[in-house]
Amino acid sequence: MSNAGDSRVKAQLMQAGMVREGDPEGPDADFLPNFIEQIFHHWITPLRPDVECQDVTRALVVFNSDNGVDVRVNVEAEFTAIVGEQAEIAPAENSFVGQIVDLYPEGVDPDLAWTGFCTAQGGRVAICDLRRNRDKVLGLLGRADSFHRSALLSLEQGMLEPAVEHLCTAAELGVMTLIQLDGWNDKKDHKNRRKWLDAEVTYGSTPASFATAFQALMDDRNAARYGEAELVTDAAGATVLADEVRRLIDYAKSRRG
């Protein structure tokens, strides 16, 4: 197929991170201005009609737990920059854009998602962290590790049924972590968690092997717990699933950051 007239467009997405204007190692040159344009289009202009767009040098949009949006502009939006090789703390607006190595908004709950931009010396910096519940999921990850360890101990002792059930619990806790970071409400329903993971595999970057392992463990859960049927998973299969669940938990940890 010829490239002429090709209408396909490569999407560039950012869930958490920072982009500096003019950075040769950054994304396409039009990413940052488009990013900022969308902030104005979706939130600043509709929610702060009192603000003139050309007068905004920095802005912060915080997505509250009640689905409300808090829009802060100029002096209301405070950022702290980490600057240079010595990692000095400085106001972003007084720092050269190319020397800013990290940027943090002030006064934002770590369990909330946010996005924004700041004008520095020589250019702008766009940042976002659209992960939610980053503090809240620590408990889930800790329990996932514990259940996974319990499953391995059960396998070592030849206790297959407890091993399968605890692997299932560990996997579900990993999936719940990903769901909560995404800010989605699973309504505490196992089926909803399966559907979310399937969609994440289809439309996101989550490995398909996670959904396959989760499905197998959920299908065997009642057999493992209540003996309602014969287990499909044998000892060798449980060992393979244990490795996959470990990868799922570690993936959830990396998504949390």
pTM to 2 decimal places: 0.80
Instruction: Report the C-alpha gap between 138 and 74 in whole angstroms.
Output: 33
State the pLDDT at residue 10: 42
pLDDT digit string (tens) for 21-51? Answer: 999 888 899 999 999 999 999 999 999 999 9
State the pLDDT at residue 205: 84
State the pLDDT at residue 41: 97
Domains and CATH numbers, the chain: 16-129 (no CATH), 137-256 (1.20.120.330)
State the pLDDT at residue 9: 42
State the pLDDT at residue 226: 96
Left if phi > 0, otherwise alpha if psi is -120 to 50, otherwise beta: which for 61? Answer: beta
Low-confidence ranges of the chain (pLDDT < 70): 1-13
State the pLDDT at residue 139: 97
State the pLDDT at residue 13: 58
Instruction: Report the C-alpha gap between 33 and 118 in whole angstroms.
Output: 12
